[in-house]
Homo-oligomer: A and B are copies of this chain.
Amino acid sequence: MRFGLIGAGRIGRIHGGNVAARAGAELAVIADADAKAAESLASLTGAKVGTIEAIITGKDIDAVLICAPTDLHSELIEAAARAGKAVFCEKPVDLSAERIRACLAVVAKAGTPLMIGFNRRFDPNFAALKGRLDRGAVGDVEIVTIISRDPAPPPLTYIARSGGLFRDMMIHDFDLARFLLGEEPIAVTAVGSALVSADIGQAGDVDTAAVLLETRSGRIAQISNSRRALYGYDQRIEVHGAKGMIRAGNIHETTVEVAGSAGFTSDPIQNFFLERYAAAYRLELDAFIDAVSAGRAPSPAGEDGLRAQMIADAATESCQSHRRIAIEG
């Protein structure tokens, strides 16, 4: 499977490197408005530098990896789908649910595979948790609790274009919640505040937030997010079911523990998302390649991107209006 990669920034470099290192896949062409970024990654991976158009129209390109800025995602997906390419697109599809719907209609018409990069589903710990959940480890799901805390806030310039915490950061947790609840949320209540950075508050966003999701049968998800965690990148799932509890969590930087008169001390947890989710990035790409090769629809699909975005929109509205918001069916 020959890939064209659009976008050679931080996330593009990860996916590009993973394609290049995988047997049965080839990173053929890289396009980026920043020629140096494209060339740098090309020299590392053996790919050629090209244009977006060359990738979209290239007859020897089977799949397009979209790692461009968010506002280009939907049109690139459409163009690639129309050209018959399989598409792997970083989340989100778009910051507008309406625009996502239109985009998915184009993809549906083209009949081409589309996978959205909700990488956390592929984290080996979270994936193992999901597998055991599906095999009945704790019976029917009742409460899902997700804690996600970044080590430190991103730059304000990033915040300004991010769509806000619920669409930028918690969207991952909305996807995970859907993945784990086994049922669609029908309502969301969100609260948030700017406790980490007054500047984030002035920019109209929050940096500390918590959400309640409800499903029709009465299952509940609790999510909390913060843009700060001095002890590392905190990413935890806990699921309670009729027969017990299952959880998965963080990895400490080392297994070293020191005991002295002040107690027992172990290391902070891994604190960079590229390290925390390195395996997840690799495994989601494997899943995409495997599905497309086998003629199966890849998952998470465009519809998953849409549902997560709808929840994020509703959460944003809830946080601003101080009301519980129903989510469209």
Contact = CB atoms under 8 A, between A and B. Distances in A.
A268 interface: yes
Given A195-B142, A231-B263, A267-B263, A254 B125 contact: yes
Contacts of A248: 254-257
A24 interface: no
Interface stretch (A30-38, A60-68, A166-174, A206-214): A206-214
A291 interface: no
Interface stretch (A95-103, A156-164, A220-228, A304-312): A220-228
Interface in A227-281: 228-231, 234, 240, 242-252, 254-268
A43 to B, nearest CB: 12
Given A125-B255, A263-B268, A264-B268, A189 B249 contact: no
A55 interface: no
Interface stretch (A11-19, A76-84, A132-140, A282-290): A132-140
A112 interface: no
Contacts of A231: 244-245, 259-261, 263-264
A132 B256 contact: yes
Interface in A158-209: 187, 189, 191-196, 208-209
B220 A193 contact: yes
Contacts of A69: none
A111 interface: no
A281 B224 CA distance: 32
Interface in A140-157: 140, 142-143, 145, 147, 149
A322 interface: yes
A323 interface: yes
Contacts of A228: 242
A250 B251 CA distance: 12
A18 to B, nearest CB: 15
Contacts of A323: 323-324
Interface of A: 124-125, 128-129, 132, 137-138, 140, 142-143, 145, 147, 149, 187, 189, 191-196, 208-210, 212, 214, 217-220, 222, 224, 226, 228-231, 234, 240, 242-252, 254-268, 322-324
8 contacts: A189-B189, A195-B242, A209-B220, A220-B224, A222-B222, A229-B244, A251-B251, A263-B265
